[in-house]
Structure 1
């Protein structure tokens, strides 16, 4: 039986823009120059501030698509080692989000955990979230942080700082070819 939260019914959103933002944050985290530069940070902030409502919605859907794709990859990687992705990803994600009280409000952490569990069980994060109403402003930082933390988890597992971003870019390239 098909679920109304099946990814086939979800909008992909602007995966390219979402990936650009996550990749930029990863490079800043790793000290690769991006975003540590105040000019780059200002350009990113201007970009997000300039988005029309439809473009902002597409960016949110794109971030949800990234979360789904990251969790799908993680699920396959953990299953290859007879491990449960939820058990190995969600506790660390929640702990990391809790360590960011200035940018992540505590009341949105359960939503992000649910979003990741939904993605880890094969459901669309955006459709899963939609059943509880519209996104809130407080959830935007946590959504970006969730996608960033999942990408970083993948990069750590593969011992390759570019693996998560490259995996998505290659998937997008294959999708446009065929």
Structure 2
């Protein structure tokens, strides 16, 4: 019997915009060879501010898709080394979120942790979250931070600052537009 949270039933959303936002944040944190890319961050912020409510919902679904893709990659990678993804991802994820109290309200950490665990066990993060009602404005930054922290975890594992972004953009490029 298929779960109500099976990823096959989940909307994919605007993964392109979601990965662009994550890439922009990663570059703002680490900079580029020429320094921090504040111009790209400003462009991304302006684009996000211009989105309609439906487009925002698509980006939220896209962020959840990224959480799923990143956790799937991490699960497979850790399992190849006989390790449990939950043991190696969740504690550091929670600790990182707790270090960002201005961006991540403490009351959102359990929900974001639930998203990560849902994705790590093969469930759709957005369908898992939908069980508990609509997304709140208070959860938007934590959702972006969740995808960002998972991308950063992947980048550290691969010792490649662009690996997570490249993995998603290559998958998007290979996808049939229909």
Residues 21-40 of structure 1 mapped to structure 2, 5 A cutoff? 21-32=21-32, 36-37=37-38, 39-40=39-40
Query: Offset at 1:174?
Result: 1.9
Distance in 1, Cα, partners of 2:92 & 2:102: 18
Which consecutive unaligned segments of at least 5 residues does structure 2 have?
A: none
The one-character-per-residue Cα deviations of 1:111-160 (angstroms, maximum 9, x if unpaired) are 00000000000000000000000000110000000000000000000001
Classify 1:161/1:16 alpha carbon distance in 2 versus 1 (closer, same or farther; 3 Å). same
Residues 1-178 of structure 1 mapped to structure 2, 5 A cutoff? 1-32=1-32, 36-37=37-38, 39-176=39-176
Distance in 2, Cα, partners of 1:119 & 1:41: 28
Distance in 1, Cα, partners of 2:75 & 2:151: 13
Classify 1:35/1:127 alpha carbon distance in 2 versus 1 (closer, same or farther; 3 Å). farther
Distance in 2, Cα, partners of 1:97 & 1:22: 16
TM-score for both structures, normalised by structure 2: 0.95
Query: Offset at 1:45?
Result: 2.2
TM-score for both structures, normalised by structure 1: 0.95
Which consecutive unaligned segments of at least 5 residues does structure 1 have?
A: none
Distance in 1, Cα, partners of 2:41 & 2:168: 23
Q: Say how many residue pairs are matched.
A: 177
Distance in 2, Cα, partners of 1:30 & 1:120: 27
Distance in 1, Cα, partners of 2:30 & 2:162: 10
Classify 1:177/1:137 alpha carbon distance in 2 versus 1 (closer, same or farther; 3 Å). closer
Q: Contact conserved, 2:90 with 2:116, CA < 8 A, in 1?
A: yes
Could you say what secondary structure the match of 2:175 adopts?
A: helix
